[in-house]
Copies of this chain bind each other. A is one copy, B any other.
């Protein structure tokens, strides 16, 4: 008996794995999942293509993992934004804004996560996370109903409507075919967010707040 996995090795492997994940996300951030090549990822991470396969079952599995990690960050941000003090409507307002702002800040990333056509395993993850968003919103809507600031409704379904409305209206501007984001921080980006959020809140509350 001569070789036994030691802590040092475990760490080194963990680092390699982390590096692969980072470089994959870098590729995805540049051009989405479809155009991310294993060879490029390996090159960026400074490993051979074969090495990737000691850390991930397959390309699809790697991508699913990357998707999970990236989306979880976003879901957490939304959860955070929903956790502030205030009425349910105020908290939803805050969360929707957060979602939209972040999407507009990293359009290619947002497109990859929200709208890019992806392989089945990744699409599965997407459905999971859409549900995660919807669940968060749903909970907030429920408390709004209890509080009385939101009329009674099918919170599960209307939370899905929120996700749809905000995603679609961002994907238009986000779509990588329409990359022409003008130079300066357009303040009509704020108007964009305002309009979308306003639509969403009206949809829930039925008032012209």
Interface residue total, chain A, C-beta cutoff 8 A: 42
CA distance A164 to B166 in the complex (A): 7
Give the shortest distance, in Å, between A6 (CB) and chain B (any CB): 43
A7 within 8 Å of B (CB atoms): no
Instruction: Give the copy number.
Output: 2
A196 within 8 Å of B (CB atoms): yes
Q: Is the CB of B208 within 8 A of A203?
A: no
The contact of A199 among B123, B161, B166, B177, by CB within 8 Å, is B161
Q: Is the CB of A200 within 8 A of B124?
A: no
Chain A at the B interface: SS class: helix
Q: What are 19 pairs between A and B in contact, CB < 8 Å?
A: A117-B118, A117-B119, A117-B123, A127-B175, A130-B168, A154-B195, A157-B169, A158-B195, A160-B172, A161-B166, A161-B200, A164-B165, A164-B169, A199-B203, A202-B203, A202-B206, A206-B208, A206-B209, A207-B208
A24 within 8 Å of B (CB atoms): no
CA distance A208 to B208 in the complex (A): 10
Knowing A158-B195, A169-B161, A195-B157 are in contact, say whether A151-B203 is a contact too (CB < 8 A): no
Chain B residue at smallest Cβ distance from A172: B160
A167 within 8 Å of B (CB atoms): yes
Q: Give A140-174 interface residues, CB cut-off 8 Å to B.
A: 151, 153-154, 157-158, 160-169, 171-172
Which residues on B sit within 8 Å (CB–CB) of A177?
124, 127
Give the shortest distance, in Å, between A101 (CB) and chain B (any CB): 16
Knowing A161-B169, A168-B167 are in contact, say whether A199-B204 is a contact too (CB < 8 A): yes
CA distance A175 to B196 in the complex (A): 25
CA distance A124 to B175 in the complex (A): 10
Q: A127-B177, A157-B195, A164-B167 are in contact. List 15 more A-B contacts (CB 8 A).
A: A127-B172, A127-B175, A130-B172, A153-B195, A157-B169, A158-B199, A161-B166, A161-B196, A164-B166, A164-B168, A165-B203, A202-B204, A202-B206, A203-B203, A206-B209
